[in-house]
Chain A
Amino acid sequence: MINKIYSSPAEAVADVFDGATVMISGFGEAGSPIELIHALIDQGARDLCVISNNTGSGHVGLAALIENRQVRKMICSFPRSANSRVFPELYKRGEIELELVPQGTLAERIRAGGAGIPAFYTPTSVGTPLSDGKETRVFDAVTYVLEHALQADFALVKCQAADRYGNLVYNKTARNFGPIMCTAAKTAIVQCRQVLDPGGIDPEAVVTPGIFVQRVVEVQHPADESLLVAEERRYPW
């Protein structure tokens, strides 16, 4: 029998190893799997390369993972925001690496990684510092830059509901990078608000087919990151 349900976030992230590449879903706090990230902080894997659109807020979630010095390198499109303090401090001190990627190129590199496409050409970033040193090619008089696919050992993803096969549905703009990250990671670990019986998700409405998901953990009431940031909470509590 196929049963991808794990009993706790701790059990689901137990084998994340030092030096792993980890994709983390979310656009700001929307879709950020905060309970899985906190479990990874408790677990303690270090020297991680993290692929995520942002770098977290305050001192919880992704920001706390960075603050706990578990992250060697960030690959992201927008590493600062109104409430991001941890990453900017470390970056200015030269204590964390950054690969800055245009947001659509980031999404497409992940999509390509999940689809078995090693690289692709795009006009995004041509003529800017972000294409420096990259191979270019002209198609029909337009210059394109070659971008390489991204894959990961693990993806940490948040969704709304899942079944034991790993079929997923998301909630509003919290979907963002979740579906493509599930496809591009060897082990996609998903926290959901609700586990449903098989058939509980309309097959026509499934967003991520279960084949892309390896582990599902139910977190019925995920923390509200902006509330924790407003309260100046820090993880570990």
Chain B
Amino acid sequence: MVSNEKLSGWSVQQMAEKVAHDIPDGAYVNLGIGIPELVAGLVPEGREVIYHTENGLLGMGPVPPAGMEDPELINAGKKSVTAIPGACYFHHADSFTMIRGKHIDVCVLGALQVSEKGDLANWSTGDPQAIPAVGGAMDLVAGVKTIYVISKHMTKTGEPKIVKECTYPLTGQEVVNRIYTDMAIIDVIDKALVVREMAPGVSFELLRDCTGAPLHRG
């Protein structure tokens, strides 16, 4: 049953399109590593968005053509990128002043879990065998004005990722503003989950069954 319902939800590409649609003209945006990176290619025509990468570049452009990579021009995922005309470079304290000083408008991140209060867990499963690594995630959620999460609605094993309380170690408390999943777009408003849009074929009842916290109709 679950697999049929997944077929009727949004694809990862469609989820990224939904995020891109909500990024306003003129925004300064930081995209997390992985699926959030898809958003950059999907912003509607006519909007100018400036991408920040926390390793010291404002005005990040697309991946360079093969053979044009520069090992000293990379993004936070350590992949080769380009700089647009009008870009600027800066050191790490300035870069995180942009983040921590609330100068960046939107950050798009992946998630392991999001709670109904907007708590985010996305850096560690708490596995004692794993090497802990946090990078800039905690600074981004503490400092960026609007935090969007893009994530599958459920884990590969069918567990809800949207939960009453996160069981994984937190990245930040009450930081998430909106969640984009393959099933729905959900706002976190006053520590409660409000459904904003559902994917074709997804009913409120089904969404409720796949979510580990109370949902409210928008």
What is A's interface to B at a CB cutoff of 8 Å? 27-31, 53, 77-81, 87-88, 91-92, 98, 100-108, 110-111, 122-130, 170-180, 207, 224-226
User: Top 9 nearest A-B pairs by Cβ distance?
Assistant: A104-B139, A104-B96, A127-B173, A174-B72, A107-B92, A111-B93, A103-B136, A102-B138, A28-B78
The chain A residue with its CB closest to the CB of B53 is A173
B170 and A172 contact, CB distance less than 8 A: no
What separation, in Å, do the CA atoms of A236 and B147 have in the docked complex?
A: 45
- Candidates B74, B135, B139, B142; contact of A173 at CB < 8 Å: B74
**Does residue B169 face the partner (Cβ distance < 8 Å to A)?**
yes
What separation, in Å, do the CA atoms of A91 and B55 have in the docked complex?
A: 25
A128 and B92 contact, CB distance less than 8 A: no
The chain A residue with its CB closest to the CB of B91 is A179
27 contacts between A and B (CB under 8 A): A28-B78, A30-B55, A30-B71, A30-B72, A88-B131, A91-B131, A92-B129, A100-B132, A100-B133, A100-B134, A102-B136, A103-B134, A104-B54, A105-B138, A108-B96, A123-B142, A124-B138, A124-B139, A124-B143, A126-B142, A127-B172, A172-B70, A173-B72, A174-B72, A176-B55, A176-B56, A178-B91
What separation, in Å, do the CA atoms of A237 and B119 have in the docked complex?
A: 48
If over half of B's interface residues share one DSSP class (helix, strand or loop), that class is named, otherwise mixed; here it is loop
The chain A residue with its CB closest to the CB of B75 is A173
- Candidates A102, A127, A172, A174; contact of B134 at CB < 8 Å: A102
Residues of A with C-beta under 8 A to B55:
27, 30, 173, 176
**Does residue B146 face the partner (Cβ distance < 8 Å to A)?**
no
What separation, in Å, do the CA atoms of A104 and B54 have in the docked complex?
A: 9
B95 and A130 contact, CB distance less than 8 A: no
**Does residue B57 face the partner (Cβ distance < 8 Å to A)?**
yes
- Candidates B54, B70, B73, B90; contact of A103 at CB < 8 Å: B54
Q: Known interface pairs A126-B142, A127-B172, A224-B71. Does A170 touch B133 (Cβ–Cβ under 8 Å)?
A: no
Residues of A with C-beta under 8 A to B78:
27-30, 81
Residues of B with C-beta under 8 A to A77:
133-136
**Does residue B171 face the partner (Cβ distance < 8 Å to A)?**
yes
A123 and B143 contact, CB distance less than 8 A: yes
B131 and A103 contact, CB distance less than 8 A: no
What separation, in Å, do the CA atoms of A92 and B131 have in the docked complex?
A: 8
* B103-143, CB < 8 A from A: 119, 124, 129, 131-139, 142-143
Q: Known interface pairs A78-B135, A102-B136, A126-B142. Does A172 touch B96 (Cβ–Cβ under 8 Å)?
A: no
- Candidates B53, B74, B93, B133; contact of A107 at CB < 8 Å: B93
The chain A residue with its CB closest to the CB of B73 is A172
A170 and B89 contact, CB distance less than 8 A: yes
The chain A residue with its CB closest to the CB of B119 is A127
Residues of A with C-beta under 8 A to B6:
none
In angstroms, how far is the closest chain A Cβ from the Cβ of B208?
27
What separation, in Å, do the CA atoms of A107 and B100 have in the docked complex?
A: 11
**Can you name 17 extra interface pairs (CB under 8 A) apart from A102-B139, A122-B100?**
A53-B92, A77-B136, A78-B133, A91-B131, A101-B134, A102-B136, A102-B137, A103-B54, A103-B96, A107-B96, A108-B93, A124-B138, A126-B173, A170-B89, A176-B55, A179-B93, A180-B91
B139 and A172 contact, CB distance less than 8 A: no
Residues of A with C-beta under 8 A to B137:
102
Residues of A with C-beta under 8 A to B124:
129
Residues of B with C-beta under 8 A to A101:
134
**Does residue B198 face the partner (Cβ distance < 8 Å to A)?**
no
What separation, in Å, do the CA atoms of A123 and B53 have in the docked complex?
A: 21
- Candidates B56, B70, B96; contact of A175 at CB < 8 Å: B56
Residues of B with C-beta under 8 A to A207:
91
In angstroms, how far is the closest chain B Cβ from the Cβ of A65?
18
Residues of A with C-beta under 8 A to B57:
172-173
What separation, in Å, do the CA atoms of A81 and B90 have in the docked complex?
A: 23
What separation, in Å, do the CA atoms of A197 and B119 have in the docked complex?
A: 54
Residues of B with C-beta under 8 A to A80:
131, 133
A177 and B92 contact, CB distance less than 8 A: yes
Residues of B with C-beta under 8 A to A105:
138-139
What separation, in Å, do the CA atoms of A106 and B134 have in the docked complex?
A: 11
The chain B residue with its CB closest to the CB of A131 is B138
Residues of A with C-beta under 8 A to B74:
27-28, 30, 173
